[in-house]
Structure 1
Amino acid sequence: MAYNLEEQEQLASLKSWWSRYGNLVTWIVIIALAAYAAWSGWNLYQRNQATQAGQLYEELQKGFAAKDDQKVQRAASDLESKFGKTAYAQMGALAAAKSAFDANDLKTAKSQLQWVVENGTEAYKAIARIRLAGVLLDEKAFEEGLKLLEGQFPEQFAGAVADRKGDILVAQTKIDEARAAYKLALEKTDEKNPARQLIQLKLDAIGGAAKAAA
C-alpha cells in the first residue's frame, strides 16, 4: 500500500532523526543492557559467595565445638582468603582467635585478631582490638595494649574499652588511673548489662567508690 504524503513526511523525519541520533541510542541501549547483566551477575555471585562462606563457617563452628583447633584454623584461613569481604570471614577469624588462645597459641590468636583489625568492619574491628589488647595483657605487653585502645571506637564499645584499659593499668600498678578507667567503664555500660557486676568487683578490689546500679 502506497504511503500518503503525511506518512512519507513522518518517515523522512524519522530517518533524519535516526541518522543523527541512531548510534547514540544504540550505544545507550547496549550500555543499559550490559549494566543490567552485570548487576544481575554480581547479585548472583554475591549470593553464591554468601552460601559457600556460610557452609565453610558452619564447618568452622563444628571444629570449634569439638575443640579441633587445626580444623578451625584451616576453615578460618579459607574464609579469609576466599571470602574475605563477608561477615563470615570476620566472625570466623574471631572464633579462630579464641580457639588458638584456648590452645595456648598466642601467636596465632594475635594473627587472627590482627586480620580483623585490618580487614573488618568498624564493629568487628572494635571487638578485635579489645580482645587483642587482652592477649597483649597476658603477654605483659602493657604499653602496646594501651596504644591499641587509643583512637576512635564506636560508642557502644566505650565501656568495654575503658574496662580493658583498667585491667592493663592494674597490671601496671597504676591504681589511680585504673580506678578512673573502671569508673568510666561503669558510666558507659548499660545498667542492664551483666558486665557491670564484674567491673564493680574490680573497682571495689582497688578501693573504688562507685556504686553499682540497683
Structure 2
Amino acid sequence: MANHLDLEEQEQLDQIKHFWKQYGNAITWALVVVLSAFASWNFYQYWQRNQAVQAAALFDEMDRAIQLSDVERIDRVFSDMKDRFSSTTYAQQSGLLVAKQYVVLGKHEAAENALIWVAEKSSDPGYQAVAKLRLAAVFMDVKNFNAALLQLDGRFPASFEPLVADRKGDLFALQGNRNKAVLEYQKAYQLFNANIDYRRLVEVKLNALGVDAQVQAATTIVAVK
C-alpha cells in the first residue's frame, strides 16, 4: 500500500515538474509583470500625494508673497511652481493669482505671460477658459484689441459662453462699435440664467447703450414662438 502511494506521489511530482518545465518561465514572467505593475501603481500614488503636499506648501508661500506684494518673491515662487509642479491644480491657481497681482502692480506683460502659461499648460478646460477671459481683459487694458479678440474667438465650455459674449461686448464697446457690442450683450443676457446676478450687470450695459434688455428678450421669445 505504501509503495502504491509512493508511486502516486512520484507520478504527481513528475507531472508538476513537467508542467513547471513547460510553463514555469511564462508564469514567472507573468508574476513579475503583475507585481511590477502593482509596485509602479503604488509608487505613482505615493508620488502624486507627495507632489500635492509639496505643491500645497509652495502655494501657501505664494499666497503670503502676494499679500505682501513682494514681487521678487512672487516671481521666484511662481517659477518654482512651474518648474516642479506644473501638472498640479495648485500651479494653475498660482498662475491666475499672480496674474491678478501683476495687473494690480502694473506689470501687464508679466500678467500676460502667466495667463498664457495657464491657458497652454492646463489640462482643465475651466482653468483654460478663465485664463483666456482674463488674458483678453489684460489685452483690453493696454488697448491691444486684436489680441483680446483672438483670445475670445477660441473654443470655450458651454457654461462660459455668456461670459465670453459679455467680454466681447466690452471689447466692441471700447472700440466704439455700438452695434456689435449690443449684439454680444444681448447674447450674453439671453444665455445667462435669470437667477444669475451677473445678468443684471449685462442689462445695465445694454441700457447704457439705449437698449431695454427685458423688452428685447420678450420680443425674441415671441418671435421664436
TM-score by length of 2: 0.90
123-132 or 141-150: which moved more? 141-150
Shift of 1:151: 2.5
The one-letter code sitting in structure 2 at the alignment partner of 1:123 is G
Q: Which has the higher helix share?
A: 2
- Once the two structures are superposed, what CA deviation does each residue of 1:40-93 show, in whole Å capped at 9, x if it has no partner? 111111111000000000111112222333322322221111100000000001
Aligned residue for 2:213, secondary structure, equals coil
Shift of 1:186: 1.3
Distance 2:206 2:72 in 1: 39
1:141 aligns with 2:172: no
1:161 aligns with 2:161: no
Aligned residue for 1:151, secondary structure, equals coil
Instruction: Select which of 5, 8, 19 maps to 1:6.
Output: 8
Contact 1:166 1:182 in 2 (8 A): yes
Distance 1:154 1:42 in 2: 31
Contact 1:69 1:99 in 2 (8 A): no
Matched residue, 2:78 = 76
Percent identity of paired positions between Structure 1 and Structure 2: 37
What RMSD over aligned residues (CA atoms) do the two structures have, in Å? 1.7
The one-letter code sitting in structure 1 at the alignment partner of 2:173 is V
Distance 1:148 1:90 in 2: 18
Distance 1:108 1:188 in 2: 33
Matched residue, 1:128 = 131
- Once the two structures are superposed, what CA deviation does each residue of 1:88-107 show, in whole Å capped at 9, x if it has no partner? 00000100100100000000
Shift of 1:172: 1.3
Q: Based on CA coordinates, which of the two structures has the bigger radius of gyration?
A: 2
Distance 1:69 1:166 in 2: 33
- Once the two structures are superposed, what CA deviation does each residue of 1:181-206 show, in whole Å capped at 9, x if it has no partner? 01111122232322222211111111
Instruction: Select which of 171, 174, 177 maps to 1:171.
Output: 174
Instruction: Select which of 89, 92, 104 maps to 2:91.
Output: 89
- Once the two structures are superposed, what CA deviation does each residue of 1:154-179 show, in whole Å capped at 9, x if it has no partner? 11111110011001111111111110
The one-letter code sitting in structure 2 at the alignment partner of 1:174 is N
Shift of 1:209: 2.4
Distance 1:208 1:10 in 2: 93
Instruction: Select which of 105, 108, 113 maps to 2:107.
Output: 105
Contact 1:134 1:145 in 2 (8 A): yes
The one-letter code sitting in structure 2 at the alignment partner of 1:192 is N
Distance 2:68 2:92 in 1: 20
Q: Structure 2: state its 5+ residue gaps.
A: 218-225
How many residue pairs get matched? 213
Distance 1:4 1:140 in 2: 96
